[in-house]
Amino acid sequence: MPENNYPKLHNASWPGVVGKGPDSEPPLSIDTMIELTANAEVDGVKFDGFDLFVADPHLDIDSNDDAIKKMADKARSKNLEIGSLVAPVWAGTGGGSAMGSREERNQFITQVKKACEIGKKLRDIGVRPNGVIRIDSSVDPSSWAADPAGNTKLIAQTFREACDVAADYGEALAAEGEICWGGMHGWKTMVNTLEAVDRPNIGFQADMAHTLLYLLGYNKEDERILPKDFDWNDRATLTEGLKTLTAALRPWTIDFHVAQNDGTVFGSGSHDKTGRHCQASDPNGKLDIAVDAGHWLRDENGNLTKKLRHICWDGCMFPNDVMMQPKTWNDILGAMIKVRQQHGWYEAP
């Protein structure tokens, strides 16, 4: 029986950028991130590709065709595909709040449109066989909480308009559930927002580290699933909690981040506090990565959904000295391989 070759295993490029900057460590260039990704190897298996942050200093959102082709060539030269793209929808990167003024919401939609244009060009070049455009609400939970119903309505309207733009490029939008984004900061709230959008090309981007925080009700106490005095050694209760969470969000999931979390929140640079991404081998990690990925990659009866053609490791806000160590990426790749061994499948080339 041949080894599983799906889903494809991707690394993320944005750990080189997210949480970096003037009030933190300097960013790592896209060339460095591609090099680290391409060099990782475990028992002859390598990463198949990387997911890309479409913003400086990695790839300018206003890149011309030459710059886009150059990025595709960088990937190909290392035998890597490009997958999902992160649209820079935040105010500091040219976007705006999804529940803000008409001008801010227009800026949000414009950034999505530009990311979709780049995504289509990468597809046409042949270096991006699958992937989505990743978005969030670009606003904090406390601002949202001033008027939950009205603000959810506004966010849904902005997402709807963004979906209509994305559809013109054959793209789907994935909203990443993080506790730092208003209207997306609790699991029920996230489902409400997705339902309100009412478009076929929107879905959920599940990140194992961020969604673990949903269980604890951080920033949305009334949506806590695990008991307040939860004992992390109580694996049975944790598993039941993950089943509850994934039953609600799995049907929406169109993009998936494998990750580890120690049950705490963390932020660095300009990035607000969100689920702490731990190294794959962190002894304080609360997840059994390979087993718990199965809640997202299999249906309630344990059958493979095969919905996700690639999965991506997301490990943000690691110190640069950690990211520059080959062992970091080999450990990550090893964890990804275990996920594919347990929940993947084989397709003849």
3-state class (DSSP) for residue 257:
strand
pLDDT band at 272 (very low <50, low <70, confident <90, very high): low
89-128 pLDDT per residue, tens:
999 899 999 999 999 999 999 999 999 999 999 999 999 9
At 11-25, the pLDDT tens digits run: 999 999 988 888 889
pLDDT computed for residue 19 by the predictor = 81
- Whether 76 has a pLDDT exceeding 50, the answer reads yes
Peptide bond into 57 cis (omega under 30): yes
Burial annotation 138-156 (CB, 10 A radius, 16+ → b, else e): bbebeebeeeeeebbebbb
DSSP label of 240: H
pLDDT above 90 for 273: no
Over residues 219-236, the pLDDT tens digits come to 999 999 999 999 999 999
DSSP strand pairing (202-207 vs 81-86): unpaired
| Lowest-pLDDT range of 44-58, 218-232, 275-289 | 275-289
Q: Where are the domains of the chain?
A: 8-343
- Helix/strand/coil for 157: helix
User: Which residues fall within 8 angstroms of residue 329, CB to CB, at 6 or more apart?
Assistant: 11, 36, 37, 39, 40
Q: How confident is the model at residue 266 (pLDDT cuts 50, 70, 90)?
A: low
Q: Which sign does the torsion angle of CA 197, 121, 126, 316 carry?
A: negative
The total number of residues shown for the chain amounts to 349
* Span 135-149, pLDDT tens digits: 999 999 999 999 999
3-state secondary structure of 39: helix
State the Cα–Cα distance between residues 235 and 113, nearest whole angstrom: 43
Return d(Cα 74, Cα 88) in angstroms, integer.
21
Given this structure, which CATH class describes domain 8-343?
alpha beta
CA atoms of 112 and 116, how far apart (whole Å) = 6
Indicate if the pLDDT at residue 268 is higher than 70.
Answer: no
Mean pLDDT of all residues in the chain?
Answer: 95
Give residue for tokens 């993950």. Answer: 242
Residue with tokens 């806590």: 224
Using CA atoms, how far apart are residues 203 and 41, in angstroms rounded to an integer?
A: 32
Residue 267 pLDDT grade (very low, low, confident, very high; cuts 50, 70, 90)? very low
Amino acid 218: pLDDT: 87
The CA distance from 331 to 211, in Å, is 22
Task: Identify the three-state secondary structure at position 125.
Answer: helix
Which stretches of the chain are DSSP H helices? Answer: 30-39, 65-77, 102-125, 141-145, 148-167, 187-197, 208-216, 235-249, 289-297, 320-323, 326-343
pLDDT tens for 287-332 read: 999 999 999 999 999 999 999 999 999 987 789 999 999 999 999 9
Q: What is the mean pLDDT of residues 320-345?
A: 97
3-state secondary structure 189-225: HHHHHHHHHCCCCEEEEEEHHHHHHHHHCCCCHHHCC
CA atoms within 13 A on the CB side of 336: 34
